[in-house]
Structure 1
Amino acid sequence: MKTSRRVFLKSGGLALFGIGLAGSIPPFVARAVAAEQNKMPFNKRKTLICIFQRGAMDGLMAVTPFNDPFLKAARPNLMMSAAQSANGKSLIDLDGKFGLHPSMQAFEPLFREGRLGIVHGIGSPNTTRSHFDAQDYMESGTPFQKGTPSGWLNRALGLLQEDHLSPFAGVALTSAMPRSFYGDNPSVAISNLQDFSIQMRGNQAGTNMAAKSFEELYDKTASGLLQEAGRESFEAMKILKTADLKNYKPAEGVTYPGSALANALKQIAQLIKMNVGLEVAFAESNGWDTHFNQGTDNGVFARNVADLSNSISAFWNDLSAYQDDVMLMTMTEFGRTVRQNGTRGTDHGRASCNFILGNNVQGGKVYGRVDELSEDNLEDKRDLAVTTDFRSVFSEVATQHLHLKNSATLFPEWKQENIGLIKT
Structure 2
Amino acid sequence: MESKLNEESLDRRTFLRGSVALAAAAAGWPQEAAGGSAETAKSKRRTVVIVFLRGGCDGLHLVVPYGDPDYAALRPGLAVREPGERGGVVPINELFGLHPAAAALSPLFASGALAALHAVGHPDNTRSHFEEQERWELAQVNAEVGAPGWLGRYLAHGGIEPRGPIRAIALGKGVPRSLRGPLPALAIDRLDELSVSGEAKGLDATMNALRRAYGENRADAEAAKTSSAARKSGARDLLRRDGDATLDAMRRLSEVAQTPFEPKGKYPRVALGQHLLEAARLVDSDLGLEVIQIDHGGFDTHQNQEPSWSNLVTPLSQGLAAFTADMEARGRMDEVLLLTISEFGRTARVNGTGGTDHGSGGCVLALGGPIQNHATPPKQVVGDWPTLSPSSLHENRDLKTVTDIRNLYAETLTRFLGVKDLTPILPTWTPTPLNLLT
Query: Alpha-carbon deviations, 1:11-54, whole Å to 9, x = none?
Result: xxxx9845x57xx833xx16x79xxxxx9xxx962111111100
Name the structure 2 match of 1:201: 212
Aligned residue runs from structure 1 range 346-357, under 5 A? 346-357=356-367
Name the structure 1 match of 2:140: 142
Query: Alpha-carbon deviations, 1:147-200, whole Å to 9, x = none?
Result: 361110112223444544634211111211100011012421111221148735
Name the structure 2 match of 1:401: 416
Name the structure 1 match of 2:3: none
Name the structure 2 match of 1:52: 52
Q: Is the 8 A contact 1:329 1:354 kept in 2?
A: yes
- The structure-2 alpha-carbon separation of the partners of 1:187 and 1:233, relative to structure 1 and needing over 3 Å to count, comes to farther
Once the two structures are aligned, what percentage of the paired residues are identical? 33
Structure 1 position 93, deviation (Å): 1.3
Match of 1:316 among 313, 324, 330: 324
Aligned residue runs from structure 1 range 8-407, under 5 A? 17-18=12-13, 20=14, 25-26=17-18, 29=19, 45-85=45-85, 88-147=86-145, 149-164=147-162, 166-196=164-194, 199=209, 200-201=211-212, 219-226=232-239, 235-245=248-258, 247-251=260-264, 254-295=265-306, 299-319=307-327, 320-361=330-371, 362=373, 364-407=379-422
Structure 1 position 62, deviation (Å): 0.8
The amino acid of 2:64's aligned partner reads: T
Structure 1 position 371, deviation (Å): 2.7
Structure 1 position 394, deviation (Å): 1.8
The amino acid of 1:271's aligned partner reads: L
Q: Secondary structure at the match of 1:80?
A: coil
Q: How many residues align?
A: 382
- The structure-2 alpha-carbon separation of the partners of 1:156 and 1:82, relative to structure 1 and needing over 3 Å to count, comes to farther
- The structure-2 alpha-carbon separation of the partners of 1:216 and 1:248, relative to structure 1 and needing over 3 Å to count, comes to farther
- The structure-2 alpha-carbon separation of the partners of 1:267 and 1:132, relative to structure 1 and needing over 3 Å to count, comes to same
Greater Cα offset, 358-367 or 263-272: 358-367
Greater Cα offset, 192-201 or 140-149: 192-201
The amino acid of 1:102's aligned partner reads: P
TM-score (norm 2): 0.79
- The structure-2 alpha-carbon separation of the partners of 1:83 and 1:269, relative to structure 1 and needing over 3 Å to count, comes to closer
Query: Alpha-carbon deviations, 1:241-261, whole Å to 9, x = none?
Result: 33443743223xx22111111
CA–CA separation in structure 1 for the residues paired with 2:11 and 2:430 = 36
In structure 2, runs of 5+ residues without a counterpart are 1-9, 23-27, 29-42, 196-205, 216-221
- The structure-2 alpha-carbon separation of the partners of 1:231 and 1:64, relative to structure 1 and needing over 3 Å to count, comes to farther
CA–CA separation in structure 2 for the residues paired with 1:311 and 1:217 = 47
CA–CA separation in structure 1 for the residues paired with 2:182 and 2:251 = 21
In structure 1, runs of 5+ residues without a counterpart are 1-14, 34-38, 204-209
Q: Is the 8 A contact 1:142 1:148 kept in 2?
A: no
Aligned-CA RMSD value: 3.1
- The structure-2 alpha-carbon separation of the partners of 1:218 and 1:145, relative to structure 1 and needing over 3 Å to count, comes to closer
The amino acid of 1:258's aligned partner reads: R
Q: Is the 8 A contact 2:116 2:365 kept in 1?
A: yes
The amino acid of 2:97's aligned partner reads: G
Structure 1 position 327, deviation (Å): 1.0
